[in-house]
Chain A
Amino acid sequence: MAGLAFLLFLLVLALFAGWIAPQDPLAQQLALRLKPPSWQHWLGSDDYGRDQLSRLIYGTRATFLAALEAVAIGVVLGVPLGLIAGYFGGLMDIVLSRLMDALMSTPALILALTIVAVLGFGLVNAMAAVGIVIAPRFFRVMRSATQDVRQETYIEASNALGASTGRILFHHVLPNVLSPLVVQVSVTLGAAVNAEAGLSFLGVGVRIPDPSWGSMLTTAASNITLAPHLVWAPGIMIAVTVLAFTVLGDGLRQAMGTRRLPAAEEA
């Protein structure tokens, strides 16, 4: 549950950034550029003299929203298609699966860049691109879980009782495939954070001068010789956050995992 605790902490940061951050993240103090950590700037200042710490805290908001957007788009695209492919099988399944395979076989970042080039720059578009790219993950998980549930007797029973397909999908299949979905969401949020960092690092994500962890890395990279300390804060934050999401996902998987009692029950 350490993962959860950390993420909640981040959530608080994101929501209350305005109150927590000591300084305005956009305020430039050119006289104090690239300074190492000091009492005035706990994590130092970047190349425009902006406070790293404040930028980090405000950056949390951007990162979270970005990750949520990407995952939401991925879910909206991947989950219903996965349900349909898993439930109906046949031609529908073949077509959808091949489509998703094509999507998955394209290098993610390249695809994201392409989509951004078409849609225009900006974090919203960049994360939408990421969303499209990660949709196949949800598709796969949903498809396989749905196929498992499809075989269960209670689905056949619902059919025999006269339930319509829509009802079966919504009332009986969906609630029973939620647990792998939740786990997948958690883990993918971590991946989305990473993606945002990558895209922002490449300059396609967040608009300058808005803070985000990825753009902070960009700044850090270009000033690495003069101010190597700038790398640490955003780098560590990204790594730890992704880890936290993954750990949370693992924990959820374990918590939701076994419902049957151990073999001792069946003698």
Chain B
Amino acid sequence: MTSREPLLDVQNLTIEFPLSGRWTPVVQDVSFSIEAGQTVGLVGESGSGKTVTSLALLGLIQAQGARIANGSIRFEGGDLAKFSESEFQRIRGERIGMIFQQPTRSLNPAYTVGEQIAETLRYHRGLSRRAAWNRAVELLDRVRIPQAARRAAEYPHMFSGGMCQRVMIAMALACEPVLLIADEPTTALDVTVQAKILDLLRTIQSETGISILFISHDLAVIAQMCAKVVVMYAGQVVECANAEQVFVTPMHPYTEGLLSAIPRPGQSSELVAIPGNVPPPGTMPTGCRFHPRCDYHIAGRCDSIAPGPRLAGAERSARCLRIGEVNLKGIVLA
């Protein structure tokens, strides 16, 4: 148990959106932490709240009309949950960088790539035009864009999806932030390009010691990148543990379901699905949110008591009443 404070510490975060005229929680009681130099994976499907959570870290949900109703986000001595817009502007890009799912749409088509990176540097670091441009070229080189000097003068439409994502990474890292939030960064990319981008991220992490919050619905990608995994379902964290624990010995039936849904070569039986659907915000079932779809739910317990996150070992937790009672299947190692 380390006594060093985590880089980012989210506690009991609850985010509400105005839906049908009422404040409805879309993310509820979410807690997790990221240590310095660590990659944490945030896994979930649609309706899990993972993207909303990540946007809240940078104060980007207020623009959509949402609010943080409860909880804290401790980062470098301050509480992001209470930051004003001007305080956020000082940390966006500077201390926390972010890359998104659609790299080709994240860049402004009217400016050259080098110009966009240089702008961040001039704004945050006060560099001169020349110094900022040179640094931009350096960064493009760092993310392995060939002929960086020439390509910096090109416009985004000349770049493929994978290349655009590299540019986004360069931009996000320009001011040397301590945390990078990556929201489904490779979901829209081809598999060969994805492999290269993931490799790049791992290299950068080992070189700079940056922490990464990696958000994805793809467990295979999460397995490749993350030391710690946070599984979200219907707005809550249902499991939080290190990668090996989550994959080999999961503690929550939803995690087990996700793992068994991964197609396995040579499997002769049917593919496994989790029956039912994710409940939309505001229509949560009583008791455990997952119980209607759970193979292990017990009538009378799981449908009336809403489990909080319960310890399931050192530094791991799961939101299930039946921890220890059921033997869940993880991935089978060859």
Q: A contacts B directly in the complex (CB < 8 Å)? A: yes
Binding site for B on A (CB under 8 A): 261-267
Do B66 and A264 touch across chains, with their CB atoms under 8 A apart?
yes
Shortest 6 CB-CB contacts between residues of A and residues of B? A264-B17, A267-B49, A264-B26, A267-B48, A267-B51, A263-B64
Residue A262 contacts which of B19, B27, B53 (CB distance < 8 angstroms)?
Answer: B19
Binding site for A on B (CB under 8 A): 17, 19, 24, 26-27, 44, 46-53, 64-66, 232, 235, 280-281
Do B48 and A264 touch across chains, with their CB atoms under 8 A apart?
no
Task: Give, as a whole number of angstroms, the nearest-CB distance from B304 to chain A.
Answer: 26
Main secondary structure of the interface of A (DSSP, over half): loop
With a cutoff of 8 Å between Cβ atoms, the chain A residues found around residue B235 in the complex are 267
| 25 A-B pairs (CB sep. < 8 Å) | A261-B19, A261-B280, A262-B17, A262-B19, A262-B64, A262-B65, A264-B19, A264-B24, A264-B52, A264-B64, A264-B66, A265-B46, A265-B280, A265-B281, A266-B46, A266-B47, A266-B51, A267-B26, A267-B27, A267-B44, A267-B46, A267-B48, A267-B49, A267-B51, A267-B52
With a cutoff of 8 Å between Cβ atoms, the chain B residues found around residue A265 in the complex are 46-47, 280-281
Task: Give, as a whole number of angstroms, the nearest-CB distance from B17 to chain A.
Answer: 4
Task: Give, as a whole number of angstroms, the nearest-CB distance from B25 to chain A.
Answer: 10
With a cutoff of 8 Å between Cβ atoms, the chain A residues found around residue B50 in the complex are 267
Among A262, A263, A264, A265, max chain B CB count under 10 A is at A264
Task: Give, as a whole number of angstroms, the nearest-CB distance from A67 to chain B.
Answer: 36
CA distance A267 to B66 in the complex (A): 13
Task: Give, as a whole number of angstroms, the nearest-CB distance from B16 to chain A.
Answer: 9
CA distance A126 to B66 in the complex (A): 53
Task: Give, as a whole number of angstroms, the nearest-CB distance from B100 to chain A.
Answer: 13
CA distance A267 to B30 in the complex (A): 14
With a cutoff of 8 Å between Cβ atoms, the chain A residues found around residue B26 in the complex are 264, 267
Measured CB to CB, the nearest residue on chain B to A266 is B46
Task: Give, as a whole number of angstroms, the nearest-CB distance from A122 to chain B.
Answer: 52
With a cutoff of 8 Å between Cβ atoms, the chain A residues found around residue B64 in the complex are 262-264
Given the contacts A262-B64, A262-B65, A267 and B47 also touching, CB distance less than 8 Å: yes
With a cutoff of 8 Å between Cβ atoms, the chain A residues found around residue B19 in the complex are 261-262, 264
